[in-house]
């Protein structure tokens, strides 16, 4: 069961998706679920994915936390001193927002539906 504020997912830059997929499959036996040419998800102990869109792609690993109430969690992040870098938006499977903590680390929080 997903819990508020817990690490739930991680995204990595994908680069050449064919090479990236082949590497993780060969080296570690990972399998992937394709969500189009720019996103492949994995479930290998911790759910995650590789994103290769040149415009939206992450430039570094992105840790994603979970929230049952996304708006309430966004308010808590702001109240604690976090800076919202990408307001709540929808994506296939849910909604999320991105923020930076006081040390400058960028993270995201997502919610289903």
Domains and CATH numbers, the chain: 7-60 (3.10.180.10), 67-113 (3.10.180.10)
Exposure pattern of 23-44 as b/e (b: 16+ CB <10 Å)?
ebeeeeeeebeeeeebbbbbee
What's the burial of 50, exposed, middle or buried (CB within 10 Å: 0-12/13-18/19+)? buried
| pLDDT score of 55 | 57
> pLDDT by residue (tens digit) across 33-83?
998 888 999 999 889 999 887 555 557 899 999 999 999 999 999 999 999
**In this predicted structure, what is the pLDDT of residue 92?**
85
pLDDT tens for 1-23 read 789 999 999 999 888 888 999 99
CA distance 106 to 113: 23
What is the DSSP secondary-structure string of 9-44?
A: EEEEE-SSHHHHHHHHHHHH----EE-STTEEEEES
Cβ neighbour number for residue 79 with a 10 Å cutoff: 8
């Amino acid at each position: 069961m997903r819990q508020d504020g817990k690490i739930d997912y991680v995204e990595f830059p994908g680069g050449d998706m064919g090479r990236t997929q082949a590497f993780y499959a060969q080296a570690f036996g990972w399998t992937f679920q394709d969500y189009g040419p720019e996103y492949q998800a994995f479930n290998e102990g911790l759910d995650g994915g590789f994103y290769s869109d040149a415009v939206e792609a992450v430039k570094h690993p992105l840790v994603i936390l979970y929230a049952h109430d996304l708006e309430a969690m966004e308010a808590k992040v702001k109240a604690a001193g976090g800076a919202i870098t990408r307001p709540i938006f929808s994506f296939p499977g849910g909604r999320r927002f991105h923020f930076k903590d006081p040390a400058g680390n960028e993270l995201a929080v997502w919610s289903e539906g």
